[in-house]
A and B are shown apart, each in its own frame.
Chain A
Amino acid sequence: MIHLKNVSKVYSNGTEALKNVSLDIEQGEFVFIVGSSGAGKSTFLKLLIHEEKATFGKVTVNGYDLMKIKNRKVPYLRRTMGIVFQDFRLIEKMNVYDNIAFAMRAIGAPEKSIKKRVKYVIAVVGLEGKERCRPSELSGGEQQRVSLARALVNNPEMIIADEPTGNIDPKMSFEIMKRLVDINKKGTTVIIVTHEHDLVRAFGGRVITINGGEIIEDKIIPAEFDTTENSESEYTDILAAVDSQNTGQAEETTVSDHRKEEDE
Chain B
Amino acid sequence: MKFHSSSYLVKEGLKNIWNNRMMSLASIVVLVSCLIITGAAILISVNVTSLISGIGDDNQVNVFLDYEMSDIDAIKLGTEIKKIDNVDDCEYYSKDDAIKEYKTKLGNLYDSMQGDENPLGNVYKVRLKDLSDYKHTISEIKRIDGVMSVSDRGDIARTLTKLNYFVSIVGFWIVIILGVVTLFIISNTIKMTMYSRRFEISIMKSVGATNTFVRIPFIIEAMAIGLIAGLISSVALIAIYNPIRDNASKMIALIGTSTIPLSDIWGNILLGFSGAGILIGALGGFISITKYLKKEGGEILGW
Segment at the interface with B among A106-114, A190-198, A208-216, A238-246: A106-114
- Contact A108/B203 with A51-B297, A75-B209 known, Cβ cut-off 8 Å: no
Assess whether B208 is in contact with A75, with CB atoms less than 8 Å apart: yes
- Interface mask (A96-109 → B, CB under 8 Å = 1, otherwise 0): 00000011011110
CA distance A150 to B208 in the complex (A): 12
Which chain A residues in 75-94 approach chain B with CB under 8 Å? 75-79, 82-83, 89, 91
Residue contact A78 to B5, C-beta cutoff 8 Å: no
A110 with B205: CB separation less than 8 A: no
**Residues on B with beta carbons closer than 8 Å to the beta carbon of A51:** 296-298
- Determine if A202 is an interface residue (Cβ-Cβ < 8 Å): no
Is the C-beta of B1 less than 8 angstroms from some C-beta in chain A? Answer: yes
CB neighbours (8 Å) of B250 from chain A are none
Q: Which residues of A lie under 8 Å from residue B297 when comparing CB positions?
A: 46, 49, 51
Partner of B208, one of A52, A78, A110, A111: A78
- Are A105 and B8 closer than 8 Å at their CB atoms? yes
Q: Is the CB of B202 within 8 A of A89?
A: yes
A72-B210, A75-B209 in contact; A106/B2 too (CB < 8 A)? no
A106 is contacted by which of B208, B296, B298 (Cβ under 8 Å)? Answer: B208
The interface on chain A, measured as residues whose beta carbon lies within 8 A of the other chain's beta carbons, has a size of 25
Complex A-B: 14 CB contacts under 8 Å: A51-B297, A72-B211, A78-B205, A78-B206, A78-B208, A82-B207, A89-B199, A89-B202, A89-B203, A89-B206, A91-B200, A105-B8, A106-B208, A110-B4
Q: Mark B2-17, 1 if CB is under 8 A from A, else 0.
A: 1011001000000000
**Could you tell me if B2 and A102 are in contact, using CB atoms closer than 8 angstroms?**
no
**Within 8 Å of chain B (Cβ to Cβ): is A154?**
yes
Are the CB atoms of A79 and B207 closer together than 8 Å?
Answer: yes
A189 to chain B, nearest CB (A): 17
Q: Mark B24-40, 1 if CB is under 8 A from A, else 0.
A: 00000000000000000
Chain A residue with minimal CB distance to B4? A110
A83 to B206, Cβ gap below 8 A? Answer: yes
